[in-house]
A and B are shown apart, each in its own frame.
Chain A
Amino acid sequence: DQQVKQNSPSLSVQEGRISILNCDYTNSMFDYFLWYKKYPAEGPTFLISISSIKDKNEDGRFTVFLNKSAKHLSLHIVPSQPGDSAVYFCAASPRASRSGSRLTFGEGTQLTVNP
């Protein structure tokens, strides 16, 4: 049972345009959501996060939106740059507790930003 799902395995956008990566989840206990970026032969790196008490969080070119009623979140990258080309993973965690260390990841979306 895939509790966190990224339905698009790949996304291709032009440099300077907006990239929108989507993620859906099924577990109502998820309280905190994160996005990670991964380059080949490297470990994932933390990008941005959002708590369930918010519906938007911005950090520079990156904005994450959370729609709790739809159990959907998205990552917007504006403007997209060729260096953003990577695999993006959505992840979710239950309420802060010992189980808070249990991140559940989506399958990942390969973003390619063309010059």
Chain B
Amino acid sequence: NAGVTQTPKFQVLKTGQSMTLQCAQDMNHEYMSWYRQDPGMGLRLIHYSVGAGITDQGEVPNGYNVSRSTTEDFPLRLLSAAPSQTSVYFCASSYTPLFGTHNYGYTFGSGTRLTVV
């Protein structure tokens, strides 16, 4: 059981380049999210999805696009990379929380360290 797999682990981009960070989970989780981690700022939500075909913006969505065509995959696209997007990116997934119960134990991937020069 692989859990949440992120690729690549490291990436260096030039300003203006575009790329896609891949995220796949094999746990049949409905919820998937992308976070970025920056020093002193914790993890900030970029985009999230509550199921295939449904996505929504998080706290810091500008400069990023997502799509969710399958339950398993949730890629994050950087449209035109900027130095401010230098960060560590984490993908996470979880079961749908049922009303009256709480199961928000997200499973995180190991992260993609992105540097934009």
A residues at B contact (CB < 8 Å): 4, 6, 9, 32, 34, 36, 41-46, 49, 51, 89, 91, 93, 96-98, 100-108
Contacts and interface: CB of A to CB of B under 8 A. Distances in A.
For the residues of A in contact with B, the DSSP-based class is mixed
B43 interface: yes
Interface string B15-29: 000000000000000
Contacts, number: 73
Nearest to B33: A101
B102 A49 contact: yes
11 contacts: A41-B111, A43-B109, A43-B110, A44-B108, A46-B107, A89-B42, A100-B104, A101-B50, A101-B104, A105-B44, A107-B42
Given A43-B110, A96-B97, A32 B43 contact: no
A36 to B, nearest CB: 8
B107 A101 contact: no
B58 interface: yes
Nearest to B58: A102
B110 A101 contact: no
A49 B101 CA distance: 12
B100 interface: yes
A52 B41 CA distance: 25
Contact of A93 (B56, B104, B110, B111): B104
Contacts of A9: 40
A102 B102 contact: no
